[in-house]
Structure 1
């Protein structure tokens, strides 16, 4: 029998024993006769044929002499079978995990291009599970729970709606992936404090101009700034967290954002980095909804209010009503006028539908420097 005769392109899980059976049937041998020729016991030959023991270099040499082909063929045949077996077992595992998909924002991740777009049908679900495991960088849904769901104890929420751990973990993971691309030095608090002061001056610039400078200043201080599209059910537009003891991450989304909310959220997250425990993950959202009280959130809010518009200016701030007055006051403070409008609305000094809203600037993920 030549190697060409025994060429094999598997389309199903077929053990090498099938090839051995074909060969001895051609010769009209029994397994007992094959055992005698190989110098093995009948039991060992039975185990070999039924893939209970693998073909080794020794048995490959013997099969080559007795049945034909080369030792390399028999070793390759064994390797093909084991690889097929692994694939079948993997498909079965993935199939058993498809209920995990119900806990994750699969369609949102497809829309963002984080995973390939597919129909959510029974045929595709195992492959979607595999892609999501690769996205999260975990071996199984159980490992995902260990890495993400059990981290809930570290979440510091600002809204009751922030309860969808699947959506939150997906958004956090997208930020982690961005952070993994960044090459930044170890965190330096003094440098970050200085960077935050410099970033305050950038609020008057367009997004295309301030964003690259803002990211550079953060990175130089050991803080990664990641802008990641929103996952709606996460109800989280900003997060401050420590990836390890010397690298911090501020993650923001620009969904529906105007510059007043964007700047407040950024400086709020910066306050968490500067003021609070490295073990906590601060989930923030400036949208509407039931707010959760927290000393840490109160501290961050107070820090931002004082940082952007020092309280010594409150008396004049609350008299502002005209567009010209707001612009002039903002210029003296060195911040964008939209930030003042947002503050006046938050403090209920002016209506949310005020004509001063035109001083705010919308932000988006597509903005580029021209």
Structure 2
């Protein structure tokens, strides 16, 4: 966690200054002290000027000549080194203030992803903490420059809303850490799809809790992460430590869209392996259009096959009662039938809208 309120001294003396004062008190010049310690004069001079550090070897030699314990010199050096490192970190915070302004920080704070604050420097510190990076360079190298492709195989470099997308993806990773999953079992996960489809067809109030629990038994993590401003993401799939993670936003809060997105992500897991990362409704470096079409086809056919769509649409004078009957027959939800017919342009948008179920992840 960030240590914003912890006290750190405003300045710390380099141990070379302490050594200089000690030598002056004892009327010892740098050359004589160098001879007595057996160290080169240029080394002692560099320490006295604050241009070089006191090493453990030197500290022991200083102890022998000056009778001041070695641990005193080492502690003085450690304090100065920490001070210098924290000074560099403060500079890194200053350099990242413009970057911090590009985040939807207020919304993230509202979701309790980061602590609330209006102070820009504190926002930087909290964002570094959120992403577990120590500098703007570290964030850029991970999310934009793909310096660690094993962990994050895509680049958000060309995204205008890269910081918001990265924040949403990071929150999914954080959420997944609280879920304990066994080793991923592809055959078991595939065998569970009819059971999951049963949940889709009924859409009970606790549908998400049921979905999450069932998927976990096969080693698949599913989380809901609410949308941030300027992130029109429906869902995402990626693998973290050999465990697939499906992250869903619930955008539009319609059950037919939610279930299509979920099964789309399932398609990526079953068809495209560990190296592919999907971010639905976002164009990004590394996106594979063929994979996306395959995942669309997988979801469509699982929810309602083309033959089933044709059978429904060929029904003379199709009525709402027919939709309900077909939903039971094909083990799907009436909203999924209406949504598909609307998407295909067979019926106008708005027709049968009362059949759609609202999405509530916390019932």
**Normalising to structure 1: TM-score of the pair?**
0.76
C-alpha distance after superposition, 1:183-226 (max 9, x if no partner): 33343332122111110001144554322331232222232212
One of 342, 354, 357 as aligned partner of 1:361: 357
Q: Does 1:309 align with 2:304?
A: yes
For 2:252, which of 256, 268, 284 is the aligned residue? 256
Maintained 8 Å contact 2:141/2:147: no
Match of 1:242 among 227, 239, 243: 239
2:279 — aligned with what? 283
Cα distance between partner residues in 2 of 1:243 and 1:58: 45
- Quick one: distance in 2 between partners of 1:12 and 1:136? 22
**Which residue in the other structure is 2:91 paired with?**
92
Report the Cα offset of residue 59 of structure 1: 4.3
Aligned to 1:4: none
Offset of residue 80 of structure 1: 0.7
**Structure 2 equivalent of residue 195 of structure 1:** 192
Distance in 1 (CA, whole Å) between partners of 2:155 and 2:93 is 33
Q: Is the 8 A contact 1:238 1:250 kept in 2?
A: yes
TM-fit CA distance, 1:266: 0.7
1:112-140 deviation line (CA, Å, top 9, x unaligned): 3333333253x446524533541699945
- Structure 1 match to 2:291: 296
Distance 2:291 2:35 in 1: 79
Secondary structure of 1:335's counterpart equals coil
For residues 324-356 of structure 1, the C-alpha deviation after alignment (integer angstroms, 9 at most, x for no partner) is 4333332232222222222232223333223x2
- What is the distance in 1 between the residues matched to 2:65 and 2:123? 46
CA contact (8 A) 1:155 1:282 kept: no
- Structure 1 contact 240–283 (Cα < 8 Å) conserved: yes
Contact 2:142-2:148 at 8 Å conserved across structures? no
Count residues in correspondence: 346
For residue 358 of structure 1, report the CA deviation from its aligned partner.
1.8
The equivalent residue for 2:100 is 101
Per the TM alignment, residue 76 of structure 1 is displaced from its structure 2 partner at its CA by 1.4
The counterpart of 1:177, out of the listed 155, 174, 177, is 174
Aligned to 1:12: 11
SS at match of 1:185: coil
Find the aligned partners of 2:224 and 2:126 in 1 and give their Cα distance: 25
Q: Which residue of 1 aligns with 2:33?
A: 35
Of structures 1 and 2, the one scoring higher in RCO (CA 8 A, sep 6+) is 1
Q: Are the equivalent residues in 2 in contact too, given 1:162–1:235 (CA < 8 A)?
A: no
8 A Cα contact 1:156 1:282, kept in partner: no
Match of 2:3 in 1: none
Name the SS for the 2:233 alignment partner: coil
Which residues in structure 2 correspond to 1:125-204 (within 5 Å)?
Answer: 126-128=124-126, 130-134=128-132, 139-147=138-146, 164-204=161-201
Matched, 1:112 2:111: yes
- Counterparts of 1:182 and 1:148 in 2: how far apart (Å)? 28
Higher mean alpha-carbon deviation, 192-201 vs 69-78, is at 69-78
Q: Deviations over 1:43-79 (max 9, x none)?
A: 4443232333433445445655766664333321221
1:230 correspondence with 2:219? no
Aligned counterparts of 1:132 and 1:155: Cα–Cα separation in 2: 20
Q: For 1:351 and 1:64, how far apart are their aligned partners in 2?
A: 89
Would you say the 8 A contact 2:232–2:281 is kept in 1?
yes
Tell me the secondary structure at the aligned position of residue 146 of structure 1.
coil
Sort the Cα spacing of 1:129 and 1:46 in 2 relative to 1 into closer, same or farther, 3 A.
farther
User: Is 1:48 matched with 2:47?
Assistant: yes
Inter-partner Cα distance in structure 1 for 2:60 and 2:185: 63
CA contact under 8 A between 1:136 and 1:144: conserved in structure 2?
Answer: no
Higher alpha-carbon deviation: 254-263 or 172-181: 172-181
Matched, 1:216 2:216: no
- Segments of structure 2 that go 5 or more residues without pairing to the other structure are 1-7
CA RMSD of aligned residues (A): 3.9
Query: Residue 268 of structure 1 contacts residue 300 of structure 1 at CA under 8 Å; is this kept in 2?
Result: yes
